[in-house]
Structure 1
Amino acid sequence: MVLKRAGFAFLSLFALSACGQAGTGTPGGSNPNYDRLLQALYRNTVPTVKAAALVQELSRPAAPLLLDARTPAEFKVSHLRGARFVNYDSLARERFVGIDRKQPVVVYCSVGYRSERLGERLHALGFRSVRNLYGGLFEWVNEGYPVYNAQGLTRNVHPYSPLWSPWLKNGQKVYE
């Protein structure tokens, strides 16, 4: 479980956030407490890319393939435009047939933990250029970048769980 990996660091940072001592983050700038949480969660096995850099890359003709490593309910609420859903729960069985192993790929989930596991899996399958969206969808939305659902642009974001929801500072929290 994700919370076990973060242990005391998560509880300490969660308490700071709950007490109003955590920064809210600013567009283009990350929350220092969120950064510390991510450092505790990440194994650093997959290189990361910041949201602002990814926005630039997505505007280019050779944009990376986006893979969303969350649950179906999370993806349904919102995702990055053009992202392909990869069910985290069946990750070990996924072969990614039909995807060019040379194509740049950016993986993401809510905060980057599950997507880092997806990135590890892709590396094991021979993908050459895989990066993890730093801070995940939460950081993307916190920095003011758009998310979409089947109807188009939305403010809705699935916050994964009540324990993780304080790290989502922008957007409308929706559990479905």
Structure 2
Amino acid sequence: MKASIKRFAGAVWALLLSACGSNAQSGDNPAYDQLLRTLYRNTVPVIWPAALAQQLRVNPDSVLLLDTRTPAEYAVSHLRGARFVDFDHYEKATFASVPRTRRVVVYCSVGYRSEKVGERLKALGFTRVQNLYGGIFQWVNQGLPVYNAQGPTQNIHPYSALWGPWLSRGNKVYQ
């Protein structure tokens, strides 16, 4: 419990720092990096958006992408080919149809929820799990594409008004 309170306090501090002049520029935001350092427990290795994008360009089937947000967030936009894993129910998922040696990249808005899903996958015996650094926010802030059921989109669900300031690109859509 104390660790969660410390992470939350650190996140609030990082948010306050951002209000003092830092803005969410793509790939170069010390305040956002500080926020992520306070949120991440470093239990799942991270992969940077540019590295993942390059790997997906070369071989899109080399990675199983798991979007670990809510149904509303996923409906607004997601990474191309991502499979939806509802964060509210991931603890019950066994991922029985996925080979334990399959390379898996999990993501959410900023990487906090997806790290928890990554921990679950590791506990289930998955050996090649990574968390997308900065989540879909970092992905979009770096100008990388997202999709919805109709195809490419500029829309992104910022989770809440509190998290929205970390999203510097795209159209914020709350549903």
TM norm structure 1: 0.93
1:9 partner letter: G
C-alpha separation between the residues in 1 aligned to 2:18 and 2:100? 40
1:56 to 43, 54, 57: 54
Equivalenced residue count is: 172
Structure 2 unaligned blocks of 5 or more: none
Structure 1 unaligned blocks of 5 or more: none
Counterpart residue number, 2:23 = 23
C-alpha separation between the residues in 1 aligned to 2:86 and 2:100? 19
Matched, 1:71 2:76: no
SS at match of 2:147: strand
Q: CA 1:140–1:160 in structure 2 vs 1: closer, same or farther (change >3 Å)?
A: same
Asked if 1 retains the 8 angstrom alpha-carbon contact of 2:24 and 2:32, the reply is no
Q: Deviations 1:132-164 (Å, cap 9, x if unpaired)?
A: 000000000000000000000001000011111
Note the 1:1-176 alignment, pairs <5 A: 4=5, 6-19=7-20, 21-26=21-26, 29-61=27-59, 62-176=61-175
Shift >6 Å, 4+ stretches:
none
Asked if 1 retains the 8 angstrom alpha-carbon contact of 2:8 and 2:39, the reply is no
C-alpha separation between the residues in 1 aligned to 2:47 and 2:87? 20
1:160 partner letter: Y
Asked if 2 retains the 8 angstrom alpha-carbon contact of 1:23 and 1:32, the reply is no
- Supply the RMSD in Å over aligned alpha carbons: 1.5
SS at match of 2:62: coil
Q: Deviations 1:3-32 (Å, cap 9, x if unpaired)?
A: 84533322222122234x113323xx3311
The percent of aligned pairs where both chains have the same amino acid is 58
C-alpha separation between the residues in 2 aligned to 1:22 and 1:11? 14
